[in-house]
């Protein structure tokens, strides 16, 4: 046996270890190193209001800039970061970066811009979550109402009682909450009624075949109607075409996010988009 130290745990390489395990271990070690070397960056995707055509917020999306492999998307490393606990320091870094950047945009005159940050279930259940978030807001001097935390519907529904308590604390502190990937989890409508959230983000899978697939149109219409009755705002994710956007607008969806308006961009590339929207005579969307 050959042991190799990686952080506080020892991992053993065995001859019979399969390729998948070796690859995973390699990824874990690289992830740990990337965190120490600050190889992460955030891209921001605009969220557009249907009514005004303006960018009301941005979603922060983490990327790993690996010196050898280039840009690595979160789908590749977030699950492992969650399993290993590395999501806690990484998530804290993401939150701090996103808040600091948004404060900078405010100082550049885009005073109403909100930022949405994804929280994994592991972060959601960390004991000092509220304190950590509040400390970052104070340090970056961003008002809590400009921060929205995104939690997936499935993460929240795994333990609704606890979720309601944690979400209430965050909302009492002035932070906004969004239910991400809505519609694919197993949400009991009874809980949705009780959940202290501000908006739902309809999962991309329901948008993809709109408006051709009439079942998807019906589902999205039902979600929008229900959400509005519960006084929640609705954002559609993954909007790629004009036809999808038009259908969502006529259904009464409040906001959208997707390649049809913009891909996630570097912070510097957001400013022209923000300016374009500010000077838009009317509905740009």
Min separation Cβ 53 and ligand C2E, Å: 18
Q: Of 79-98, which residues contact ligand C2E (CB under 6 A)?
A: 91, 94
180 binds Mg ion (CB under 5 A): yes
CA distances from 73 to 117, 196, 271 (A): 16, 30, 23
CA distance 48 to 188: 28
User: Which residue from 259, 266, 269, 283 is in contact with ligand C2E, where contact means CB under 6 A?
Assistant: 259
Min separation Cβ 99 and ligand C2E, Å: 13
Min separation Cβ 239 and ligand C2E, Å: 6
**What tokens were used for 228?**
């509005």
Min separation Cβ 121 and Mg ion, Å: 13
User: Which residue from 46, 183, 264, 267 is in contact with ligand C2E, where contact means CB under 6 A?
Assistant: 264
101 binds, among Mg ion, ligand C2E, none (CB under 5 to 8 A by kind): none
70 binds ligand C2E (CB under 6 A): no
CA distance 199 to 180: 9
User: Which residue from 118, 123, 140, 285 is in contact with Mg ion, where contact means CB under 5 A?
Assistant: 118
CA distance 50 to 199: 15
45 binds ligand C2E (CB under 6 A): yes
**What tokens were used for 104?**
């900078």
**H/E segment holding residue 158:** none
CA distance 259 to 272: 16
**Cα dihedral across residues 148, 256, 87, 154: positive or negative:** positive
**Up-side HSE of residue 222: CA atoms within 13 Å toward CB?**
10
Binding mask 213-252 for Mg ion (x = CB under 5 A): ------------------------x---------------
**H/E segment holding residue 44:** strand 40-49
**In this structure, what are the phi and psi dihedrals at residue 60, rounded to the nearest 5 degrees?**
-85, 130
**H/E segment holding residue 89:** helix 87-107
Min separation Cβ 275 and Mg ion, Å: 25
User: Which residue from 48, 62, 235, 270 is in contact with ligand C2E, where contact means CB under 6 A?
Assistant: 62
Min separation Cβ 32 and ligand C2E, Å: 17
Residues that bind ligand C2E (CB under 6 A): 45, 61-62, 73-75, 78, 91, 94, 118-120, 150, 180-181, 204, 237-240, 257-259, 264
């Amino acid at each position: 046996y050959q042991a190799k130290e990686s952080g506080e745990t020892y991992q053993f390489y065995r001859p019979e270890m399969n390729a998948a395990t070796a690859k995973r271990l390699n990824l874990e070690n690289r992830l740990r190193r990337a965190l120490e070397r600050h190889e992460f960056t955030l891209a921001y995707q605009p969220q557009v209001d249907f009514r005004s055509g303006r960018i009301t917020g941005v979603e922060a999306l983490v990327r790993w800039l690996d010196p050898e492999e280039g840009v690595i998307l979160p789908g590749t490393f977030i699950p492992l970061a969650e399993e290993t606990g590395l999501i806690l320091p990484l998530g804290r870094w993401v939150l701090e970066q996103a808040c600091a950047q948004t404060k900078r945009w405010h100082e550049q005159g885009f005073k109403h811009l909100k930022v949405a940050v994804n929280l994994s279930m592991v972060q959601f259940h960390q004991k000092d979550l509220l304190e950590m978030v509040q400390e970052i807001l104070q340090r970056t001097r961003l008002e809590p109402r400009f921060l929205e935390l995104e939690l997936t519907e499935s993460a929240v529904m795994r333990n609704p009682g606890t979720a309601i308590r944690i979400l209430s604390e965050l909302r009492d502190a002035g932070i906004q909450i969004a239910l991400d990937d809505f519609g694919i989890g197993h949400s009991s409508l009874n809980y949705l009624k009780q959940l202290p959230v501000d908006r739902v983000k309809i999962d991309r899978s329901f948008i993809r075949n709109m408006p051709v697939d009439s079942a998807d149109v019906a589902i999205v219409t039902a979600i929008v109607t229900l959400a509005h009755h519960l006084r929640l705002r609705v954002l559609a994710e993954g909007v790629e075409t004009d036809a999808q956007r038009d259908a969502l607008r006529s259904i009464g969806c409040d906001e959208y996010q997707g390649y049809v308006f913009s891909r996630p961009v570097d912070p510097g590339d957001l400013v022209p988009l923000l300016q374009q929207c500010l000077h838009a005579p009317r509905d740009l969307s």
